[in-house]
């Protein structure tokens, strides 16, 4: 979009800049490795930042001071590497006296929320769908349903958001707010089927089997005849996008993060 037609100015302040100004943000946006480097996931990052700007949320990012939370290392069994990462990150976070963190990645969310406290990192950690929902509740953000009205959208529960942390409703409420028709897969919520990426599987070839997990999950999604498969995790997003391609449906079915849905609804 041309800067001149933008009504608002989009800024991504870093914690270092805030510190220089003697300011403390309302919330730290933990971007995560996928959100920082992966081309597809970067779109989610940007969509979320546009919403934060629009809602006037005072946030900052760590930028180059952010490191991998250590999640894939821990799930692979490398507790040393995980704790090294955790302790490094905690030092940075505590140095900035961070109180509240929002993240677009359920893996970062789970690790920061559950596994950092006993290593000295105690923060209030929320997933971006939770933040968006509270912005709506507080009236800081409004959603016009127009664009997605009546569209069939199915939500894929990320394991590390759903089963791992019992967050099932926030993303669904947001989708309903779009006046979309939320359709559920046969395994959903606490019985949702994994996309196949967790436990460091994202970084390796699967073991020998009959099919790939993401294809299986995509088949379940396709059974609901959706126009959009909504996700809340950059890794799920990749897996489902690949699954849709494997089923040659990429021209009729989009895979989008909940933040992208909302940004699109608001023409952000």
Partner 1 sequence: MGFISQILFAVVLIAGIGYFVRNINKLRRNIKLGKPVDRSDNKAERWRNMALIALGQKKMVVRPIPGLLHIIVYVGFIIINIEVLEIVIDGLFGTHRVLSFLGGFYDFLIGSFEILALLVIVSVTIFWIRRNVIRLKRFWNPEMKGWPKNDANYILYFEAVLMLLFLTMNAADHQLQQAGAAHYAQAGAFPVSGMISSVFGGLDVASLIAVERMAWWFHIIGILIFLNYLYFSKHLHILLAFPNTWYAKLTPKGQFDNLEAVTKEVMLMMDPDADPFAAPEETEGEEEPGKFGASDIFDLNRVQLLNAYTCTECGRCTSECPANQTGKKLSPRKIMMDTRDRIEEVGKNIDANGGKFADDGKQLLDGYISREELWACTTCNACVEACPVSIDPLSIILEMRRYLVMEESAAPNELNVMMGNIENNAAPWPFNQMDRLNWKEEIETT
Nearer Cβ to partner 1 (78/224)? 78
Six-digit token pair at 222?
Answer: 């396709």
Nearer Cβ to partner 1 (52/180)? 52
Per the CB < 8 A criterion, the answer to whether 266 and 259 are in contact is no
Beta strands 100-103; 27-30: pairing state: parallel
Q: Is 13 exposed, middle or buried (0-12, 13-18, 19+ CB in 10 A)?
A: middle
Nearer Cβ to partner 1 (47/261)? 47
Nearer Cβ to partner 1 (110/154)? 110
Separation of alpha carbons 78 and 136, rounded Å: 40
Measured CA distances, 54 to 34, 58, 125, 127, 188 (Å):
23, 11, 22, 18, 32
Q: How far is the CB of 93 from partner 1 (least distance, A)?
A: 14
Separation of alpha carbons 74 and 112, rounded Å: 13
Q: How far is the CB of 27 from partner 1 (least distance, A)?
A: 17
Separation of alpha carbons 44 and 8, rounded Å: 19
Separation of alpha carbons 202 and 194, rounded Å: 12
Nearer Cβ to partner 1 (106/226)? 106
Q: How far is the CB of 144 from partner 1 (least distance, A)?
A: 22
Q: How far is the CB of 180 from partner 1 (least distance, A)?
A: 26
Separation of alpha carbons 138 and 154, rounded Å: 26
Nearer Cβ to partner 1 (75/176)? 75
Separation of alpha carbons 2 and 192, rounded Å: 41
Q: How far is the CB of 214 from partner 1 (least distance, A)?
A: 9
Nearer Cβ to partner 1 (70/232)? 70
Q: How far is the CB of 108 from partner 1 (least distance, A)?
A: 11
Q: How far is the CB of 50 from partner 1 (least distance, A)?
A: 7
């Amino acid at each position: 979009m041309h800067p001149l037609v933008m009504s608002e100015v989009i800024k991504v302040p870093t914690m270092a800049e805030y510190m220089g100004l003697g300011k403390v943000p309302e919330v730290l946006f933990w971007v995560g490795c996928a959100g920082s480097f992966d081309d597809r996931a970067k779109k989610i990052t940007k969509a979320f930042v546009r919403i934060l700007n629009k809602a006037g949320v005072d946030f900052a990012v760590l930028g180059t001071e952010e490191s991998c939370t250590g999640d894939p290392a821990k799930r692979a069994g490398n507790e040393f590497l995980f704790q090294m990462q955790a302790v490094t990150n905690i030092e940075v976070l505590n140095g900035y006296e961070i109180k509240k963190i929002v993240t677009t990645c359920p893996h970062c969310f789970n690790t920061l929320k559950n596994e950092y406290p006993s290593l000295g990192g105690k923060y209030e950690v929320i997933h971006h769908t939770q933040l968006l929902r509270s912005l709506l509740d507080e009236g800081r953000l409004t959603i016009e349903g127009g664009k997605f009205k009546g569209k069939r959208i199915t939500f894929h529960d990320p394991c590390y958001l759903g089963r791992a942390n019992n967050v099932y409703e926030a993303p669904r409420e947001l989708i309903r707010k779009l006046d979309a028709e939320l359709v559920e897969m046969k395994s959903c919520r606490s019985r949702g089927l994994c996309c196949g990426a967790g436990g460091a599987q994202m970084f390796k070839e699967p073991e020998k089997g009959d099919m790939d997990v993401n294809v299986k999950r995509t088949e379940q999604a396709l059974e609901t005849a959706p126009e959009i498969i909504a996700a809340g995790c950059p890794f799920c997003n990749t897996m489902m996008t690949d699954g849709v391609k494997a089923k040659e449906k990429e021209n009729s079915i989009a895979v989008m993060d909940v933040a992208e849905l909302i940004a699109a609804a608001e023409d952000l």
